[in-house]
Structure 1
């Protein structure tokens, strides 16, 4: 793994200093250490008792002030990678850990990241606007950022082979079914065949919110379309009728440099590391105080309070950049690990969105049958804690939507908790957790209103205590937790087993 002291974080620090980013001062922190000058071995109950809602909210208010640094460029608060708001977030994290003295070593890992922005788009099919049409993430613009016109050309199968695309797609618009292979692959095949644009329609009635993933010179402007809107088009094409369309996307895709921040305890067995992470960036559209400011700040608070204790196993905190662009930071980190360093990570815990206003206590349903050995033991730790606290919980799919994905794909057991994003809360969940049925768990998910008022403090405190419990448990002892003993072959097998049913890589579908 290569770390850089690099200019990226230096720029963040100097930018933050110039803009006077507020930090939690030492006067606001409980005294570090132990009354008798020695530190006890970490204890879950004692660490949990140090978690304070007031301190979490102090951090939230500061995070929102940092997000305002993005206003000059984006006209609203944001912490998207490349923005002053994200640079300020990096500075805040870095400075907070530095204030904790020599308890942690801190490193920044600089890496190239892809960021995309869609300024305007429209898709007209026949004589009507396709209301469900959404441009794919990281899509290029239509030619010259102008509307293009052509016939819809049906693509055989799921468009995963070049042979699926007829010659007639050249100069027209490819109409491709979702499934089997990535959206990026479909866009590439259509582009190589000379299509002006591509539409990937769903096999279900729902809309398709997807991403093309890693940019390719062969990618073309690509939309997702709901199965409901696609159905009448397919009926016409099946009867041999002509269907024309106008596609327009004004977008740009850029490469920038950004930074992961890693803090590791100087004490504890360095060959047995307990790792946990949150992402430091938001989407362009808003300040991201719940997504994932809440996880970022929970980790900062747990890292701060952990300094009052000794640990048996090393604890490694990570703040990933580029999660919202497709898990870029966590993917880069895991891909950079030599096998020897990979094996030192006993487990990875993901903490993304800890305080959704219409929350449910959600546990990723990670089993050892489909994931690296130890994932199920972590899942059961969360279950037991909620049960001991007399709290309800529910399971959610372990489907690649957050930063655990790269770890699982590379043989590292993982899991995590969440409080919900754009999913709809059911009547049964209202009975379990309160709140409002029929609404999103976070009605401000990926929107401008994801500010300080968008936090459920009760849920945030509960889940930060659970984070503290998970850290304390494994930092104290890994007795009974499955050993890491993976060969390269078994790493590959784990990855293949996990990948079969995974349709997400981050917040957006990629298959």
Structure 2
């Protein structure tokens, strides 16, 4: 077992200023200056079996204990452990990862990439429609508060069509609450148009009976306090409005939206062809509600352990590890990284692998169903690598939608092949999956998803170890060779994924 490192719990990472495009032409510059590999001791080329054998569950669990202690740094401010961006728990996480990488000597060049991030908090909310308080009413993420953070009293006004054009908002919307159908355009667009029409609040109701929880996305001044509402709760209201009846309402949201600075961490092997990089990432932050040991401590610690064990080998192609900040707020770190990446640097990334939630207690072995037909060419070849490995181990697996719910999203939207594996979040395990993977049908894959109980007892050691070995295999395979893997070109780099995007991170966006 590798010795456990001590981490300075009181150190907070300081923002280093914006990273310019010219700096990113050399995207992995060390803060200590150029690092030179020590060639005095020749290392053998990485071998997948040997790298997999080096992965030990005890090391992963020790790291999980460290991470939970770090999350506890946030208790004075939040009242419970958390690693949400802007917290001491997240600052401590970044320090822990970076310090561990520094301790690996000159095998990697390290960089910190500060960027502006938006985070929102809803302290209190209430929606009354007529004489009813709909249980499904949920404030949108990044919603502004109602005026003066006080209740507003107004009538509902039905917006025409999908509320995606200014002409859909009649003059009656002014000083009232816009009632808007979900669909066609993002929630943020609907809220902005409602605000421009003079609405004091907005309600977006679902197209089916289910609940509706989403995000307004990047804040703009015209956004108004916005709720999501289930189709079931909306149906009787819609019937009254279409019949010309007056429906009075009270809307109240006490919230704030703030901009902060946070940081991505990138580590790239000194050796290996820098024009042919295999890249993988996980997110360093949790939601505010809990410590996030499975989501995504399991992924980010897996990367750290694989990065540690890889130092015992040489590589032909460069390997680039990333710890993204702000994933839980809407994929902020990975979006920023790819958005500011010059085209010539984009082309050096042959593929991106996303590792988010590797040890869900009621797990299934899930592979993102990334096809070449809907995504950058090479995504399907990566998918088949996971299929082949699970098959070789005699393990069952299942495919899940590749729909933008994690940090691969920016990569595939910018022409970089992508994929990954997971073990399940709030989805319900089926009877068939119970037979395939064990566990319990009818329950969430992770019963503590985005909750306080996502602590060190919320990881399944079997799933975590199996998937860490698979991640080691994915790194070793492409660190040796990209033989038969599709080449990148400027044409493919500029071609966006055709995959429909209903999500941006954990949030619905339209």
* TM-score class normalised by the smaller sequence: over 0.9
Whole-Å separation in 1 of the counterparts to 2:445 and 2:320:
30
Q: Say which structure is richer in helix.
A: 1
Contact 1:321 1:329 (8 Å CA) reproduced: yes
Choose from 377, 380, 389 the match for 1:385. 389
Deviation readout 1:358-377 (Å, 9 max, x if unpaired):
11000000000000000000
Contact 2:157 2:177 (8 Å CA) reproduced: yes
Choose from 470, 493, 496 the match for 1:494. 496
Choose from 249, 252, 255 the match for 1:245. 249
Q: What is the match of residue 42 of structure 1?
A: 46
3-state secondary structure, aligned to 2:318: strand
3-state secondary structure, aligned to 1:14: coil
Whole-Å separation in 1 of the counterparts to 2:50 and 2:257:
48
Q: CA deviation at 1:239?
A: 1.2
Deviation readout 1:407-445 (Å, 9 max, x if unpaired):
000000000000000101111110000111111111111
Choose from 418, 429, 434 the match for 1:430. 434
Whole-Å separation in 2 of the counterparts to 1:195 and 1:492:
39
Q: What is the match of residue 505 of structure 1?
A: 504
Contact 1:13 1:87 (8 Å CA) reproduced: no
3-state secondary structure, aligned to 1:329: helix
Contact 1:12 1:90 (8 Å CA) reproduced: no
Choose from 103, 123, 139 the match for 1:135. 139
Whole-Å separation in 2 of the counterparts to 1:62 and 1:168:
57
Contact 2:376 2:495 (8 Å CA) reproduced: no
What are the residue-to-residue correspondences of 1:317-332 with 2, within 5 Å? 317-332=321-336
What are the residue-to-residue correspondences of 1:215-294 with 2, within 5 Å? 215-294=219-298
Choose from 353, 359, 364 the match for 2:363. 359
Deviation readout 1:241-278 (Å, 9 max, x if unpaired):
11111111110000000000000000000000000000
Q: CA deviation at 1:14?
A: 2.7
Deviation readout 1:316-348 (Å, 9 max, x if unpaired):
000000000000000000001000000000000
3-state secondary structure, aligned to 1:290: helix
The root-mean-square deviation of aligned C-alpha atoms, in Å, is 1.6
Aligned residues: 480
Deviation readout 1:47-75 (Å, 9 max, x if unpaired):
00011110000000000000000111111
Choose from 103, 107, 115 the match for 1:103. 107
Q: What is the match of residue 395 of structure 1?
A: 399
Whole-Å separation in 1 of the counterparts to 2:291 and 2:349:
32
Whole-Å separation in 1 of the counterparts to 2:478 and 2:502:
31
Whole-Å separation in 2 of the counterparts to 1:135 and 1:506:
17
1:118 matches 2:117: no
Q: CA deviation at 1:12?
A: 8.8
Q: CA deviation at 1:240?
A: 1.2
Q: What is the match of residue 300 of structure 1?
A: 304
Residue range with higher mean Cα deviation, 229-238 or 287-296: 229-238
1:314 matches 2:318: yes
Off by >3 Å, runs of 4+ in structure 1: 490-493
Whole-Å separation in 1 of the counterparts to 2:171 and 2:49:
67
3-state secondary structure, aligned to 1:314: strand
Whole-Å separation in 1 of the counterparts to 2:408 and 2:113:
18
3-state secondary structure, aligned to 2:353: strand
Contact 1:203 1:227 (8 Å CA) reproduced: yes
Segments of structure 1 that go 5 or more residues without pairing to the other structure are 1-10, 18-32
Choose from 169, 172, 180 the match for 2:173. 169
Whole-Å separation in 2 of the counterparts to 1:107 and 1:203:
45
Q: CA deviation at 1:13?
A: 7.5
Q: What is the match of residue 374 of structure 1?
A: 378
Whole-Å separation in 1 of the counterparts to 2:505 and 2:335:
11
3-state secondary structure, aligned to 2:106: helix
In structure 2, the CA distance between the partners of 1:385 and 1:478, relative to structure 1 (3 Å rule), is same
Contact 2:11 2:92 (8 Å CA) reproduced: no
Segments of structure 2 that go 5 or more residues without pairing to the other structure are 1-7, 15-36
Q: What is the match of residue 83 of structure 2?
A: 79
Q: CA deviation at 1:475?
A: 0.4
Whole-Å separation in 1 of the counterparts to 2:231 and 2:469:
42
Whole-Å separation in 1 of the counterparts to 2:327 and 2:421:
17
Q: CA deviation at 1:15?
A: 3.4
Whole-Å separation in 2 of the counterparts to 1:142 and 1:508:
22
3-state secondary structure, aligned to 2:464: helix
Choose from 177, 202, 205 the match for 2:206. 202
Q: What is the match of residue 28 of structure 1?
A: none
What are the residue-to-residue correspondences of 1:409-488 with 2, within 5 Å? 409-487=413-491
In structure 2, the CA distance between the partners of 1:183 and 1:62, relative to structure 1 (3 Å rule), is same
Q: What is the match of residue 29 of structure 1?
A: none
Q: What is the match of residue 56 of structure 1?
A: 60
Whole-Å separation in 1 of the counterparts to 2:293 and 2:13:
18
In structure 2, the CA distance between the partners of 1:382 and 1:449, relative to structure 1 (3 Å rule), is same
Whole-Å separation in 2 of the counterparts to 1:492 and 1:190:
34
In structure 2, the CA distance between the partners of 1:202 and 1:148, relative to structure 1 (3 Å rule), is same
Contact 1:278 1:319 (8 Å CA) reproduced: yes
